[in-house]
Amino acid sequence: MRTLLLLYLCVYAARAQDDLEYDDYDDTNSQPASNGTGTVNARGHRPSTRGRDVYTNNRYSPPPIGGRGRYRGRPTPAPVGQPQVQEKQEQPESGGCTHASEEMGVLCPNGCELKTALLKQERNVKTSINDLKPRVDELSRSTNHIFNYVNSISNSLRERQRLFDDNGRAVSQYTDQVEEQHVYIKETVDTVFPSNIRVLQGVLEKVRQKIQRLEKAIQAQREECKEPCKTKCPIPVVSGKECEEIYRRGGRDSQMYVVQPDTFYPPYKVFCDQTSQNGGWLLIQSRLDGSVDFGRRWDEYRRGFGNIGFDTGKGHCETPGEYWLGNDRISLLTKMGPTEVLIEMEDWTGAKVHAQYNQFTIQSETSNYVLAVDGYSGTAGNCFLDGSLELYGENRTMTIHNGMMFSTYDRDNDNWTPGDPSKQCSKEDGGGWWYNRCHSANPNGRYYMGGAYTRQMAKHGTDDGVVWMNWKGSWYSLKAISMKIRPYFPPSK
């Protein structure tokens, strides 16, 4: 029983640790929602909690190394002085003759005759020694020559013996290597070569089959291309700077057109909605079925991606696809003059609402495409300016999108601990957007079929769906949402 209890505690602690890895904040600051359904799970915007997300500059410089040295003092050298001269020792005897060597002292007074005899003998001995000395030198030189010759013969014999031994070992090793190579060659010729040949024959057969299939495909393409191809989505002749100008020039059908806001840049395709609220709307964002992945890099959001429109059998592209027009193009369009934006959305029961702002501007890339909106009207709820109405105080403030820079998972510009790669709104919430910390609206999030989804279904445990919190809350992913812009002008009276 104790073992089971300890095991349960360990599992519970591990799960709690895993949750903390994805920023599992407390709901202690949450208050009841306005609809009275109980406490709000404020996971979607990373609520502010004291003592969290604090950066501490902890730079430490080590002090100089101290302590005792590894060496002791050097010894003192002896003083330098004059060499001492040994005094000559006075001999105890005096008088008489001295020996030939002073160390032998003096002779007795009656020893002078002996000295004279010894000196005579010394002359005879020196003569004999002088005669023998050249012979001794010659014999010494002959002995040295013989010794050197014997040594050279011995060294040569040892070197020859070493070479003989080395040659024997080399011959033995070479013989062993030759035998190993012979065994390897025999095994290769008998087994490996036939096997490789069979493999190559199989590869050759597969290549031959692929060539035959390609030849058939080429022949089929030639048969199909005998007649000229026809464009399924012809571009209308009418064009303009934007969809409003196209509408005023007679382009009253909602379909794909070509616009050119600036003559310094080439024209490009867009989808114009010419029916909603008197038309003139240029579609800059569209989510319909989840066919396009919106978890893209900064450069892709800058250029734009997705499918502009489709032909459903009428001969022109009257059905919009899923796409993002591109931040550079959106910025240029909104900076041409006063611009309004219409955000339309639909849930999985078919209910539709909208949010409209009569002032909408996106700055250039140098400012990271800062969002500026004002003048809200509609039925979906004012997420851009008010934030999430389910939250209170600072936690609501950090869900406001107005004034935010654009963020993608590879370019973090949100307000959630800047510089911390583990705390990035775009990385956790599935798409590029004007995140704060993090959102009340997430139109470019992950697409969930059916609407409601759970924290366990989300990749990072966050409300990363196609969310508009002031209409359906954090954990409901919309079926469709689109953003459309047109030049703002006062309505006619």
Among 181-190, 197-206, 213-222, 285-294, the range scoring the smallest mean pLDDT is: 181-190
* pLDDT in the model for residue 258: 94
* pLDDT in the model for residue 52: 56
Residue 486 has pLDDT above 50, yes or no: yes
* pLDDT in the model for residue 184: 83
pLDDT tens digits for range 353-376:
999 999 999 999 999 999 999 999
- Give the 3-state secondary structure of residue 342: strand
Question: Distance (Å, rounded) from C-alpha 269 to C-alpha 262?
Answer: 14
Among 122-136, 234-248, 447-461, the range scoring the smallest mean pLDDT is: 122-136
Question: Distance (Å, rounded) from C-alpha 136 to C-alpha 458?
Answer: 110
User: CA 388, 393, 395 angle in degrees (round to 5)?
Assistant: 55
Mean pLDDT of 121-138: 82
User: CA 468, 472, 475 angle in degrees (round to 5)?
Assistant: 85
Question: Distance (Å, rounded) from C-alpha 304 to C-alpha 58?
Answer: 42
Cα–chain center distance at 438: 25
- Nearest-CA neighbor of 270 among 197, 201, 321, 214? 321
Mean pLDDT of 221-228: 74
pLDDT tens digits for range 384-410:
999 999 898 888 998 999 999 999 999
Buried-state track 290-312, b at ≥16 Cβ within 10 A, e below 16: eebebbbebebbbebbbbbbebe
The winner for highest mean pLDDT among 36-40, 110-114, 299-303, 421-425 is 299-303
Residue 190 has pLDDT above 60, yes or no: yes
Q: Domain 243-487 classified CATH 3.40.50.300?
A: no
Q: What is the pTM of this model?
A: 0.58
8-state DSSP, 474: T
Question: Distance (Å, rounded) from C-alpha 146 to C-alpha 275?
Answer: 124
Residue 117 pLDDT class (50, 70, 90 cuts):
confident
> What are the sequence ranges of the domains in the chain?
126-197, 243-487
Residue 107 pLDDT class (50, 70, 90 cuts):
low
Residue 256 pLDDT class (50, 70, 90 cuts):
very high
Residue 379 pLDDT class (50, 70, 90 cuts):
very high
Question: Distance (Å, rounded) from C-alpha 91 to C-alpha 492?
Answer: 151
Residue 51 pLDDT class (50, 70, 90 cuts):
very low
Among 82-91, 141-150, 314-323, 444-453, the range scoring the smallest mean pLDDT is: 82-91
Residue 180 pLDDT class (50, 70, 90 cuts):
confident
Q: Which amino acid is at 104?
A: M
Cβ pair 476, 458 in contact under 8 A: no
Ordered DSSP codes for 189-238 = IIIIHHHHHHHHHHHHHHHHHHHHHHHHHHHHHHHHTTSPP--SSPPPS-
- The label of the residue with tokens 């800058």 reads 302
Buried-state track 32-56, b at ≥16 Cβ within 10 A, e below 16: ebeeeeeebebbbbbbbeeeeeeee
Question: Distance (Å, rounded) from C-alpha 354 to C-alpha 168?
Answer: 97
Among 140-149, 225-234, 305-314, the range scoring the smallest mean pLDDT is: 225-234
Higher pLDDT, 162 or 402: 402
pLDDT tens digits for range 266-297:
999 999 999 999 999 999 999 999 999 999 99
Ordered DSSP codes for 412-423 = --SSSSTT-TTS
Task: Report the mean per-residue pLDDT for the chain.
Answer: 79
- Nearest-CA neighbor of 320 among 275, 372, 381? 275
Q: Which amino acid is at 129?
A: I
Question: Distance (Å, rounded) from C-alpha 404 to C-alpha 397?
Answer: 12
Residue 2 has pLDDT above 60, yes or no: no
- HSE, side-chain direction, 13 A CA sphere, residue 284: 28
Residue 447 has pLDDT above 70, yes or no: yes
Measured between alpha carbons, how far is residue 113 from residues 110, 117, 121 in Å? 7, 6, 13
Which two tokens mark 40? 């709000």
CA dihedral sign of residues 208, 212, 213, 214: positive
Higher pLDDT, 371 or 145: 371
Question: Distance (Å, rounded) from C-alpha 116 to C-alpha 101?
Answer: 14
- HSE, side-chain direction, 13 A CA sphere, residue 386: 17
Question: Distance (Å, rounded) from C-alpha 423 to C-alpha 406?
Answer: 16
Question: Would you mind telling me the total number of residues written for the chain in this entry?
Answer: 493
Residue 63 pLDDT class (50, 70, 90 cuts):
very low
Ordered DSSP codes for 402-444 = TTPPPBBTTB--SSSSTT-TTS-HHHHHSS-B--SSS-SEETT
Question: Distance (Å, rounded) from C-alpha 118 to C-alpha 123?
Answer: 9
